Amino acid sequence: MMTKYHILIVEDEPAIAEVLCAYCTAAGYSIKHFSSGQTVLAYIKDNNVDLVLLDLMLPDIDGVTLCRETRLFSQVPIIMVTAKNEEIDRLIGLEIGADDYICKPFSPREVIARIKVILRRAGNLNDKIIRQSGFELNMQKFNVTLHNQPLDLTPIEFKILERFLANINRVFSRQEIMDSVYDGFEEISDRNIDTHIKNIRKKITAVAADMNPIVSVYGVGYKMEC
Ligand code: CA
């Protein structure tokens, strides 16, 4: 079953908030609504938010500041909701990292249409490219760079690195790594995984001598720290 997209709605005007919540719910999204900005950052950090509808004028913190602060730790798509066209021009000029802008008064249908576009775009990007700590791993092209320099990995090394980059700080046992990279036909052993890890590390340090992001976890396996 597909999980519902989770939309965070930050809007202090009750009537507008009510409409946004109703339309998002009707469109099949799960929602959380805040009427002020103060708990927004903590909520985004602690929950899997897929998109934020962010009002520009809030009673406590302004939307621009919230957007900027969110971008320090998250690439969650943000649609700014603002009262005037002039504000939108100003926001674009500020390059605050929002993905889109909607002007009040808006048609709720239009809002849902924009949300769908942004979610689709974000989903496509996430599926194809992982960017993490200087690595850029493109799953469609099957290549990976570190600080823009190519890492010449074997297909198995590529799959191992992809698992690590998609799960920073998660400890993988050798068995889990084997299960995720082999298709079941090869004769393999624990030593084999250690050899692949050793080779990946060597290729990483050849590009960035001071980097050793893949860490051995004694008695368990490996994890990637960044
Ligand atoms: Ca407002």
Residue 96 Cα to ligand 1 midpoint, Å, equals 18
Does the structure show a pLDDT above 90 at 20? yes
Does the structure show a pLDDT above 90 at 51? yes
Strands 78-82 and 51-55: parallel
Query: So what's the pLDDT on residue 114?
Result: 94
Could you say which of 3.40.50.300, 3.50.50.60, 1.10.10.10, 3.40.50.360 is the CATH number of the domain covering 129-224?
1.10.10.10
Q: Give the DSSP letter of residue 156.
A: H
Does the structure show a pLDDT above 60 at 184? no
Query: So what's the pLDDT on residue 187?
Result: 60
Q: How many CB atoms lie within 10 A of CB 84?
A: 11
Comparing 54-63, 70-79, 135-144, 148-157, the range with the smallest average pLDDT is 135-144
Find the mean pLDDT for residues 122-140: 77
Comparing 28-32, 53-57, 125-129, 220-224, the range with the smallest average pLDDT is 125-129
Does the structure show a pLDDT above 50 at 1? no
Predicted TM-score (pTM) of the model is: 0.58
Residue 25 Cα to ligand 1 midpoint, Å, equals 21
pLDDT (tens digit per residue) in 87-99:
776 676 667 788 8
Residue 11 Cα to ligand 1 midpoint, Å, equals 6
Where are the domains positioned within the chain? 6-125, 129-224
C-alpha 12/C-alpha 17 separation (Å) is 7
Find the mean pLDDT for residues 126-133: 76
Residue 57 Cα to ligand 1 midpoint, Å, equals 4
How far apart, in Å, are the Cα atoms of 131 and each of 34, 62, 77, 110, 200? 30, 29, 16, 31, 17
Residue 55 Cα to ligand 1 midpoint, Å, equals 6
Find the mean pLDDT for residues 100-128: 85
Comparing 61-70, 117-126, 169-178, the range with the smallest average pLDDT is 117-126
Residue 13 Cα to ligand 1 midpoint, Å, equals 6
The SS3 call for residue 100 is: strand
C-alpha 144/C-alpha 151 separation (Å) is 6
Q: How many CB atoms lie within 10 A of CB 108?
A: 15
Residue 53 Cα to ligand 1 midpoint, Å, equals 12
Residue 113 Cα to ligand 1 midpoint, Å, equals 22
Looking at every residue in the chain, the average pLDDT score rounds to 87
Query: So what's the pLDDT on residue 127?
Result: 64
C-alpha 173/C-alpha 184 separation (Å) is 17
How far apart, in Å, are the Cα atoms of 24 and each of 7, 8, 79, 108? 8, 10, 14, 9
Q: Quick one: fold of 6-125? A: Rossmann fold (3.40.50)
